[in-house]
């Protein structure tokens, strides 16, 4: 029997869904694969809790924790009757180390989790991330160096869900590289939000209305500028580039920010009330694309020897990328062996169930590597 010792950093939508999938599946993994999942620490931005019981947190305890978070609670506000001692995140992680090697699952947001990941890797553990930010840190950062140095075939870093959620993008590229292929280009529509918005624009809807509708449908971040700035797509492009061995920093990526300069610092409502000022310019670009048998798409282009860029492009309708509509992601991978006919991976690039499942799959695979 192989023990998988977990410390989970980040227990929002994705983190909670990971816990629920573990609760649902762990008896089967134990029976069918000989893998026993032991939850030792749970960490959010307010602190952490750790468990030194032989089998870690029970399913009932994990379910109670998720219910607490779902009702708006945080680690710092766990009720006394839980009987869990509240600690700092670093303390909670340190308490897991004697039970290691520990897999730190980073389903948080932002780069402040990097220190925890670095400390866990330095202790011989592993890292599974859905959080892009630590991987997008400057390559001079010691944790970024550690994470990337462990990102190879048998390494201790796994990050499938950072680009395309549950879609097998990183693993496909990894398999190609491991087999000796040379990945020359990855082009992708990697933002479901921008996919939905520009499908509406293509159908004639004003850009501002498409943004408002995407927000109402729950496709955008609470502040839609987080999607429209292109930064999230740029982080994915950076991860794809480093994944195929192109050294790049975030500030070297050409990013088309769809938010006009003077609307970047205003309140969200002011922004939404003024965004119609770019409608005419975007409609003109959409018309021009249509005139050429193409449609506008917000695309990341990662190609060896070319500047890495994310922005609006005219994509011919007769290509797989151009035929895609709505919030689906599509990633086209060209390599030495797949030069004339590239590999296309398409499907939902966001969502709690598929992303959590990708995190869980990375964790199971990494546990097998760690136990070898």
Phi, psi torsion values for 371, nearest 5 degrees: -85, -5
64 sits near ligand NAP (criterion: CB under 6 A) = no
Give the residue, chosen from 5, 7, 11, 239, that forms a contact with ligand NAP under the rule CB under 6 A: 11
Structure letter (DSSP) for residue 346: E
- The least distance separating ligand NAP from the CB of residue 109, rounded to whole angstroms, comes to 4
Structural contact between residues 231 and 190, judged by C-beta atoms closer than 8 angstroms: no
* Binding window for ligand NAP (CB under 6 A); candidates: 59-67, 128-136, 248-256, 339-347: 128-136
Give the residue, chosen from 36, 68, 74, 290, that forms a contact with ligand NAP under the rule CB under 6 A: 74
Q: Residue 45 or 283: which CB sits closer to ligand NAP? A: 45
- What Cα–Cα distance (Å) separates residue 46 from each residue in 35, 70, 113, 117, 122? 31, 15, 12, 17, 24
State how far the Cα of 69 lies from the Cα of 81, in Å rounded to an integer.
15
Report the residue number whose CB is nearest to ligand NAP: 12
| Closest-CA residue to 119 (of 131, 104, 134) | 104
User: Which residue is catalytic, options 132, 205, 215, 236?
Assistant: 236
Q: Residue 46 or 303: which CB sits closer to ligand NAP? A: 46
Which DSSP string do the residues of 152-215 spell out, in sequence order? STT-SEE-GGGTTTTSSSHHHHHHHHHTT--EEEEEEE--HHHHHHHHHHHTT--HHHHHHHHH
350 sits near ligand NAP (criterion: CB under 6 A) = yes
Q: Is 86 a catalytic residue?
A: no
Q: Residue 35 or 116: which CB sits closer to ligand NAP? A: 116
Give the residue, chosen from 2, 3, 12, 73, that forms a contact with ligand NAP under the rule CB under 6 A: 12
Query: Phi-psi bin for 305: left (phi > 0), alpha (psi -120 to 50), beta?
Result: left
State how far the Cα of 139 lies from the Cα of 272, in Å rounded to an integer.
36
Q: Residue 110 or 326: which CB sits closer to ligand NAP? A: 110
Give the residue, chosen from 2, 25, 45, 368, that forms a contact with ligand NAP under the rule CB under 6 A: 45
Structural contact between residues 77 and 60, judged by C-beta atoms closer than 8 angstroms: no
Q: What tokens does 302 get? A: 């990662």
130 sits near ligand NAP (criterion: CB under 6 A) = yes
345 sits near ligand NAP (criterion: CB under 6 A) = no
Neighbours of 27 (CB within 10 A): 12
Give the residue, chosen from 22, 127, 165, 286, that forms a contact with ligand NAP under the rule CB under 6 A: 165
* Binding window for ligand NAP (CB under 6 A); candidates: 9-17, 51-59, 215-223, 303-311: 9-17
Q: Residue 301 or 329: which CB sits closer to ligand NAP? A: 329
Could you give the residue numbers annotated as active site? Answer: 236
Chain residues that interact with ligand NAP, rule: CB under 6 A: 9-15, 43-46, 74, 89, 107-110, 112-113, 130-132, 161, 165, 350-351, 355
């Amino acid at each position: 029997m192989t023990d998988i010792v977990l410390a989970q950093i980040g227990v929002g939508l994705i983190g909670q869904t990971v816990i629920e999938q573990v609760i649902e599946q762990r008896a089967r993994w134990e029976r069918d694969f000989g893998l026993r999942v032991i939850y030792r620490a749970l960490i959010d931005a307010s602190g952490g809790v750790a468990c030194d019981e032989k089998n870690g947190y029970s399913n009932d305890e994990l379910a109670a924790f998720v219910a607490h978070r779902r009702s708006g609670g945080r680690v710092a506000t766990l009720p006394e009757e839980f009987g869990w001692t509240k600690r700092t995140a670093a303390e909670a992680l340190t308490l897991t180390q004697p039970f290691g090697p520990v897999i730190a699952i980073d389903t948080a947001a932002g780069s402040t989790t990097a220190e925890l990941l670095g400390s866990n890797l330095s202790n011989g553990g592993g890292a599974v991330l859905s959080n892009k930010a630590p991987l997008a840190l400057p390559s001079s950062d010691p944790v970024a160096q550690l994470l990337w140095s462990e990102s190879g075939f048998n390494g201790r870093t796994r990050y499938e869900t950072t680009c395309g959620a549950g879609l097998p993008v990183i693993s496909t590229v990894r398999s190609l590289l491991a087999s000796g292929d040379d990945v020359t280009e990855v082009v992708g529509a990697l933002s479901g939000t921008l996919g939905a918005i520009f499908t509406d624009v293509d159908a004639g809807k004003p850009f501002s209305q498409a943004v408002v509708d995407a927000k109402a449908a729950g496709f955008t971040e609470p502040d839609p500028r987080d999607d429209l700035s292109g930064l999230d797509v740029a982080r994915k492009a950076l991860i794809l580039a480093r994944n195929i061995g192109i050294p790049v920093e975030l500030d070297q990526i050409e990013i088309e920010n769809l938010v006009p300069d003077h609307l970047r610092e205003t309140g969200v409502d002011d922004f939404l009330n003024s965004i119609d000022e770019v409608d005419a310019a975007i409609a003109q670009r959409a018309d021009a694309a249509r005139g050429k048998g193409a449609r506008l798409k917000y695309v990341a282009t990662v190609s060896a020897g070319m500047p890495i860029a994310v922005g609006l492009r005219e994509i011919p309708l007769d290509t797989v990328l151009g035929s895609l509509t709505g919030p689906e992601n599509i990633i086209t991978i060209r390599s030495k062996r797949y030069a004339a006919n590239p590999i296309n991976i398409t499907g939902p690039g966001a969502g709690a169930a598929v992303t959590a499942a990708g995190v869980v799959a990375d964790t199971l695979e990494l546990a097998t590597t760690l136990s070898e």
